[in-house]
Chains A and B, each alone.
Chain A
Amino acid sequence: MTPYTEMQQVNSPAAGIGNEHRLLIDVQDLKTYFFLHEGTVKAVDGVSFQIREGRSLGVIGESGCGKSVTAQSLMRIVPSPPGREVGGKVLLYMEQPGGQVDIINVLELAAGGAKMRSIRGKHIGMIFQEPMTSFSPLHSIGEQIMEAILIHEPGVTKKQARQRTIEMLRRVGIPRAERLVDSYPHQFSGGMRQRAMIAMALVCGPRLLIGDEPTTALDVTIEAQILELIKDLQDEFGMALMYISHDLAVVGQMSDEIMVMYLGMVMEHADTDTIFDDPLHPYTVALWRSIPTIEGKLERLSPISGGLPSPYQIIPGCPFSSRCERRMPNLCDVSLPPLKEVSPGHKVRCFLY
């Protein structure tokens, strides 16, 4: 089995009609299931989306929606066992020096193999909610970041790697970087650790940065600093961003387009303004009405009734139907609506449309 689905000489950008940004990742019908003793959890159950160079995709959803597992599948870091990608494709478009673009289906690579390791860090970087899980407590921040450089770029000397590390730490706003580079993770505050994690994720210049709730555990004033930092770096490096969060307002600030997930599926996908101003899917609409905001008229919140069903439960029909105010009996609880493009760039999974 060859790890490459196709290797092409592509002279023109692998872009769709009317899209000026080159395609970076094309996820087609991704399915990632967890095979547990109690049953099978279909954490990601048919998710498709594209990320283009320099663009930001926000992913919103609550517990169990599959947003984190989707990102983990892209990076092939889903704990396995019990998890496994069981279907679909994750096509990575990697531009080589010389202009050609290689297309690799990441799902066909060995998760622990050399090729996947070189993709992680060099092509895709990831930052997580809890920076301590990214760093080994036994090594200094500097050593760990340097390691990332030395692994991915053979030919770079230790001295050069250290210099680049210090520069990157400075760039992410760590003061006295030339001294703090030798500090240990526990010596940094939460905000500083998050900055160090961003430095580690970006030091090899990935084309895509995935952030999985990176600011959720931070104080709001520190969060604001980190979000601005990510935006600045994104502009500076021309990176694409996949920003995952349950916080709608934060996702709105960071994204060009937003994907709303529920129980492993995409419910709605549109550009940010549309999701905020004209959402169509009942779940998106209900979410908006149920969250307190800092602006706007103060009205009684309308909670979404019921709760999330058990992850082992097999739900016929639309996963949201049990809680949906606009559910149509004998349709929504029986058949799964397809994800349909109802207007250019706006996809909804709902029989109402």
Chain B
Amino acid sequence: MANQQEPLLEVNDLKKYFPVSHGFLQRTIGYVKAVDGVNLAVQPGETLGIVGESGSGKTTLGRCITKLYQPTGGKILLRTDNHTFSVTHLSKEELRAFRRSAQTIFQDPYSSLNPRMNVLETVGEPLLVNGIAHGRELEDRVTQMILQVGLRVEHLRRFPHSFSGGQRQRIGIARALVVNPKLVVADEPVSALDVSIQAQILNLLQDLQEKYQLTYIFISHAMSVVRYVSNRIAVMYAGKLVEVGPKDELLANPRHPYTEVLLGAVPRPSQRKHIRRQISPGEPPDLFNLPGGCVFQPRCRYAADICKEQAPQLQEVSQGAFVSCHLSQSLHLEGIQSIV
């Protein structure tokens, strides 16, 4: 297609608040604003990496997108060839179809598989539940899928406990992909794996993306992993999206002070024992008690008065690059040089 494609996924002003109740009568006394007004667009075939630390909201965002959580506010649109899903309001029929289009790969290969189902049952379940296949055909499709992820036919009748972490993750990937989804949300898919196995799974995910033309949202706290897999990177802090942009540019020339802090904190192979780094003080805020104005302002070394009074909005500052910061135009922030 010669024209600009429409985004596969559009997220508008997404909010997910968790009520906090207190006391004998369980009155709601406030909210944990896990995701607080996020705007995002994901193009077909790309990998959008979402980074952030604890409490950033990245996992909650991922779960809202796949409707594991019902958003508190905002809109999510998923555009497939047949249908555009408005994820926040799906009918029962639409929900089933949606689940065939958007799937999740989970972090923990030990808790995300039912220990009482063997590989055939685990990977076959989505086909069965969605009425896509059963019996002989189901077994054929499952077999094909597990071979694609690097497992073998003899694994079909084995149970999760007899597999290593890396192999279990492969089973989880097979389960997610067996229905041919368009969008896959991978939430920390390699964090629980040994370092030498991570590479196997990352390469597998990339190969499958090419083969099946998948679009990935890759959520991780590990910058180096996100750098490897992503086309674009989105940075989250305290429920807000603070910066989004093409990977290389964001890493080399971050535009948000928090991105600068995050990049500065990543341990680098070039920094040996004698090198001291500039470390930002403080901790992520309490999501129940967010500061006024910009959420990052209490930790921000550049904070000005306006930052305490007014929350900034996400704005496009160059082609495909968005920042949410009052001062970003005037700041010269330090990133990571890719060629050492």
Contact = CB atoms under 8 A, between A and B. Distances in A.
Interface of A: 56, 62-63, 189-192, 219-225, 227-228, 231, 246-250, 252-256, 272-273, 276, 286-287, 290-298, 300-304, 307-308
A130 B71 CA distance: 33
Interface in B212-229: 221-225, 227-228
A256 B202 CA distance: 31
A276 B269 CA distance: 7
Contact of B272 (A273, A301, A302): A273
Interface string B191-235: 000111111101100000000000000000111110110000000
Given A228-B276, A228-B277, A247-B267, A219 B221 contact: yes
25 contacts: A190-B54, A220-B265, A221-B261, A224-B279, A228-B277, A231-B276, A247-B267, A250-B267, A252-B271, A252-B272, A255-B273, A272-B273, A276-B272, A290-B195, A292-B198, A292-B199, A293-B268, A294-B223, A294-B336, A296-B269, A298-B228, A298-B338, A303-B200, A303-B203, A307-B167
A219 B270 CA distance: 21
A283 to B, nearest CB: 9
A62 B193 CA distance: 10
B267 A292 contact: no
A246 B195 contact: yes
A221 B265 contact: yes
Contacts of B200: 303
Interface of B: 53-54, 164, 166-167, 194-200, 202-203, 221-225, 227-228, 251, 261-273, 275-277, 279-281, 283-284, 336-340
Contacts of B227: 292, 294, 298
B265 A301 contact: no
Contact of A62 (B195, B224, B267): B195
A304 B199 contact: yes
Contact of B199 (A219, A222, A246, A290): A290
Nearest to A302: B199
Nearest to A283: B196
Contact of B273 (A63, A247, A256, A294): A256
A295 B269 contact: yes
B164 A301 contact: no
B272 A224 contact: no
A302 B195 CA distance: 12
A292 B197 contact: no
Nearest to B337: A295
Contacts of B340: 295-296
Contacts of B225: 292
B168 to A, nearest CB: 12
Nearest to A286: B196
What 6 A-B pairs come out closest when comparing CB atoms?
A303-B199, A249-B267, A219-B53, A292-B228, A224-B265, A301-B199
B339 to A, nearest CB: 7
Contact of B279 (A228, A247, A303): A228
Contact of A295 (B194, B279, B336): B336
Most B C-beta atoms less than 10 A away, residue of A220, A252, A308: A220
